[in-house]
């Protein structure tokens, strides 16, 4: 493997990388950094947890002068990911004297405005707040040379594409577009091409049909209503996961699961888009520092790099194979092992088969001792209002306030989600 010291990088940048603790390049870095340095647009696909962040931050830093104009804008789908990417950029910038700032919703815009006014070279942010700051005339992108879409397929899908198009109209014609993700469905590549020079590079690390790292095992069970909770508790009881993210479909359901775990005396955190930003950051922070569980919606599915997550539990199956790939990719990072367990509804056999087919993985059925774990009480406050425990009804009231930009997968009510056609309403119909 190549070392950063062998790359055509400024001495102070190599020093900065060493101080962060990296010496050798990962495969995606080895392949992407030279291409980014060459000035080409690029679509880079590499599996979760393989070091994509450094693959764009490092070459951008190499070509960022110490000036007050914004040279690079890095756009990501969630606030927590913005913070994480910015943190890495800031770490390097401390030694290269290149300033990074982060802009995202839910936090004081005035603080962000004064950070921007101080003059920064690299901006990491989420689309809504970026647009707000552009429209206020505070964030000027006239001198931008690099635009990065991290989790690019997410940034170009229906939830975000209009925002991205708008932001791009504020950047110069001549710039470098850099798209990174673990998944790049063909329809999204078609959209991406509209924004790229015809000679753009495609970097594909690993075989195209391999989306998931092979250090994750995949298991499932079928259950509905109250038995889903029994399955969850049985898994926890039988396997004692060390550090575990539990994904739920809605904010609302994540709260129920969270309440249940707390009642069981478990050390759990909660992360969903209906919480204040301060709470979101506290939850993630505490989970990073060692809480055993984090119950989350899909906002935690993309990009977050949390050390040593051993288990991913999909309390509800994700809607698409791509969602599955990203959720389970929060574990087994940088060659570590991970275990994924998905609870499918009784009517979701087809979804299970589709996920296996589309993500190119094999799942095995897990036998859990449900009877032993079925003597729990649902949290009082929700029990009556939401109908748990009544003949295993798995229905949730679709009353959740829409949370806008990445809310659609959080707010869909149970059952309406997967219609059973081979790909259901999946936009990536027929893609592998
Ligand atoms: N990392 C590393 N060596 C490197 C670059 C990154 O060990 O040269 C670590 C990094 O600190 C992080 C992990 O690899 O903990 C995953 O990186 P990233 O989040 O960039 O992965 P992605 O999912 O974006 O590919
Ligand atoms: Mg990433």
Task: Tell me the CA end-to-end span of the chain in Å, nearest whole number.
Answer: 30
pLDDT greater than 90 at residue 108: yes
Measured from the Cα of 150, ligand 1's closest atom is 24
Domain assignment present for residue 427? The answer is no
Ligand found nearest the CA of 303: 2
Domain assignment present for residue 32? The answer is yes
Measured from the Cα of 88, ligand 1's closest atom is 11
Give yes or no: residues 116 and 17 share one domain: yes
Residues in a beta bridge with 270: 295
Question: pLDDT tens digit string along 230-248?
Answer: 999 999 999 999 999 999 9
Domain around 270: 216-385
- Domain end, chosen from 343, 364, 385, is at 385
Half-sphere exposure of 76 (CA within 13 A, CB side): 25
Q: How many residues does the chain have?
A: 432
The residue whose CA has the least distance to atom 9 of ligand 1 is 51
Give yes or no: residues 187 and 258 share one domain: no
pLDDT at 389: 38
Q: What spacing in Å lies between the alpha carbon of 250 and ligand 2's midpoint?
A: 24
Query: Which range has the worst mean pLDDT, 40-49, 84-93, 204-213, 382-391?
Result: 382-391
Q: What spacing in Å lies between the alpha carbon of 371 and ligand 2's midpoint?
A: 40
pLDDT at 379: 84
Give yes or no: residues 232 and 140 share one domain: no
Q: How far apart are CA 20 and CA 28, in angstroms?
A: 18
In this prediction, residue 207 has a pLDDT band, given cuts at 50, 70 and 90, of very high
Give yes or no: residues 244 and 148 share one domain: no
Residues in a beta bridge with 42: 178, 201
Q: What is the mean pLDDT of residues 212-220?
A: 97
Give yes or no: residues 197 and 224 share one domain: no
DSSP 416: S
The residue whose CA has the least distance to atom 14 of ligand 1 is 51
Give yes or no: residues 171 and 292 share one domain: no
Question: pLDDT tens digit string along 43-83?
Answer: 999 999 999 999 999 999 999 999 899 999 999 999 999 99
Q: What spacing in Å lies between the alpha carbon of 342 and ligand 2's midpoint?
A: 23
Q: What spacing in Å lies between the alpha carbon of 414 and ligand 2's midpoint?
A: 29
In this prediction, residue 381 has a pLDDT band, given cuts at 50, 70 and 90, of low
Please check whether residue 395 is in contact with residue 309, taking contact to mean a CB–CB distance below 8 angstroms.
no
**DSSP for 252-293, written as a single string:** HHHHHHHHHHHHTT--EEEE-TTS-HHHHHHHHHHHHHT-SE
pLDDT at 284: 98
In CATH, what number is assigned to the domain containing residue 224? 3.40.50.300
**DSSP for 329-377, written as a single string:** TTSSGGG--EEEEEEE-TT-HHHHHHHHHHHT---EE----TGGG----
Cα-based angle 128, 132, 138 (whole degrees, multiple of 5): 135
The residue whose CA has the least distance to atom 18 of ligand 1 is 51
Q: How far apart are CA 163 and CA 165, in angstroms?
A: 5
pLDDT at 360: 97
pLDDT greater than 50 at residue 407: no
Give yes or no: residues 253 and 299 share one domain: yes
% pLDDT > 70, the chain: 88
Would you tell me the crossing angle of helices 161-169 and 127-135 to the nearest 10 degrees? Answer: 40
Q: How far apart are CA 341 and CA 344, in angstroms?
A: 10
pLDDT greater than 80 at residue 352: yes
pLDDT greater than 80 at residue 394: no
Domain assignment present for residue 231? The answer is yes
Looking at per-residue pLDDT, the higher value among 414 and 182 belongs to 182
Domain assignment present for residue 428? The answer is no
Q: How far apart are CA 344 and CA 315, in angstroms?
A: 8
pLDDT at 382: 52
pLDDT at 228: 97
Q: Which of 30, 49, 88, 330 to mutate to test the pocket of ligand 1 (most atoms within 8 A of CB)?
A: 49
Domain assignment present for residue 183? The answer is yes
pLDDT greater than 50 at residue 105: yes
The residue whose CA has the least distance to atom 1 of ligand 1 is 51
Measured from the Cα of 53, ligand 1's closest atom is 20
Q: Which of 31, 87, 92, 305 to mutate to test the pocket of ligand 1 (most atoms within 8 A of CB)?
A: 305
Calculate the average pLDDT of the chain. Answer: 90
- pTM of the complete model beyond 0.95: no
Q: How far is residue 252 CA from its own chain's centroid? A: 20
Give yes or no: residues 63 and 103 share one domain: yes
Give yes or no: residues 174 and 252 share one domain: no
Q: What is the mean pLDDT of residues 103-117?
A: 97
In this prediction, residue 425 has a pLDDT band, given cuts at 50, 70 and 90, of very low
Q: What spacing in Å lies between the alpha carbon of 25 and ligand 1's midpoint?
A: 10
Q: What is the mean pLDDT of residues 282-305?
A: 98
Residues in a beta bridge with 281: none
Q: Which of 53, 215, 307, 326 to mutate to test the pocket of ligand 1 (most atoms within 8 A of CB)?
A: 53
Give the three-state DSSP class for 182.
Answer: coil
pLDDT at 81: 98
Q: What spacing in Å lies between the alpha carbon of 49 and ligand 1's midpoint?
A: 6
pLDDT greater than 50 at residue 186: yes
Give yes or no: residues 366 and 246 share one domain: yes
Q: What is the mean pLDDT of residues 377-383?
A: 70
Give yes or no: residues 271 and 375 share one domain: yes
Measured from the Cα of 180, ligand 1's closest atom is 24
Give yes or no: residues 102 and 223 share one domain: no
Q: What spacing in Å lies between the alpha carbon of 275 and ligand 2's midpoint?
A: 24
- Helix, strand, coil shares of the chain, percent, nearest 5, are 40, 15, 45
Ligand found nearest the CA of 91: 1
pLDDT at 403: 36
Give the three-state DSSP class for 321.
Answer: helix
pLDDT greater than 50 at residue 218: yes
- The token duo for 119 is 């003059």
Q: What spacing in Å lies between the alpha carbon of 224 and ligand 2's midpoint?
A: 33
Q: Which residues line ligand 1 (CB under 6 A)?
A: 22, 26, 29, 46, 48-54, 305, 333-334
Residues in a beta bridge with 269: 294
Ligand found nearest the CA of 326: 1
Q: What spacing in Å lies between the alpha carbon of 256 and ligand 1's midpoint?
A: 33
Distances (CA, A) of 278 to 61, 245, 270, 272, 299: 30, 20, 12, 12, 15
Q: What is the mean pLDDT of residues 108-135?
A: 98
Question: pLDDT tens digit string along 140-176?
Answer: 999 999 999 999 999 999 999 999 999 999 999 999 9
Give how many domains the chain has, as a whole number: 2
Ligand found nearest the CA of 309: 1
In this prediction, residue 432 has a pLDDT band, given cuts at 50, 70 and 90, of very low
């Amino acid at each position: 493997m190549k070392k950063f010291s062998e790359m055509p990088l400024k001495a102070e940048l190599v020093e900065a990388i060493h101080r962060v603790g990296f010496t050798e390049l990962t495969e995606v870095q080895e392949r992407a950094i030279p291409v980014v340095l060459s000035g080409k647009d690029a679509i880079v696909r590499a599996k979760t947890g393989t070091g994509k962040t450094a693959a764009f931050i490092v070459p951008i830093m190499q070509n960022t002068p110490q000036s007050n104009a914004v040279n690079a804008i890095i756009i990501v789908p969630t606030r927590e990911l913005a913070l994480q990417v910015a943190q890495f950029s800031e770490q390097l910038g401390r030694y290269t004297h290149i300033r990074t700032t982060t802009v995202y919703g839910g936090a004081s815009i005035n603080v962000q405005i004064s950070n921007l006014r101080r003059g920064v070279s690299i901006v990491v942010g989420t689309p809504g707040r970026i647009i707000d700051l552009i429209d206020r005339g505070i964030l000027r992108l006239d001198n931008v040379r690099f635009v990065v879409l991290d989790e690019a397929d997410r940034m170009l899908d229906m939830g975000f594409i209009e925002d991205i198009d708008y932001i791009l109209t504020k950047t110069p014609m001549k710039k470098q577009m850099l798209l990174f993700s673990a998944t790049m469905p063909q329809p999204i590549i078609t959209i991406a091409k509209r924004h790229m020079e015809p000679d753009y590079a495609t970097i594909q690390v690993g075989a195209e049909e391999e989306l998931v790292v092979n250090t994750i095992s995949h298991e499932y069970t079928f259950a509905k209503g109250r038995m889903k909770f029994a399955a969850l508790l049985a898994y926890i009881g039988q396997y004692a996961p060390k550090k575990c993210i539990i994904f739920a479909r809605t904010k609302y359901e994540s709260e129920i699961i969270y309440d249940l775990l707390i009642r069981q005396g478990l050390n759990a955190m909660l992360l969903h888009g209906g919480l204040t930003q301060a709470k979101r950051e506290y939850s993630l922070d505490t989970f990073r520092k060692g809480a055993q569980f984090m119950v989350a919606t899909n906002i935690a599915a993309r990009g977050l790099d949390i050390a040593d997550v051993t288990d991913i539990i999909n309390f509800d199956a994700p809607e698409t194979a791509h969602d599955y790939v990203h959720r389970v990719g929060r574990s087994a990072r940088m060659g570590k092992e991970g275990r994924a367990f998905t609870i499918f509804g009784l009517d979701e056999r087809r979804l299970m088969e589709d996920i296996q087919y589309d993500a190119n993985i094999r799942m095995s059925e897990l036998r859990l001792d449900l009877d032993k774990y079925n003597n729990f009480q649902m949290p009082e406050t929700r029990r009556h209002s939401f109908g748990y425990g009544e003949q295993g009804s798995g229905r949730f009231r679709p009353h959740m306030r829409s949370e806008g930009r990445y809310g659609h997968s959080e707010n869909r009510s149970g059952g309406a989600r997967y219609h059973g056609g081979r790909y259901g309403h999946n936009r990536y119909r027929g893609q592998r």
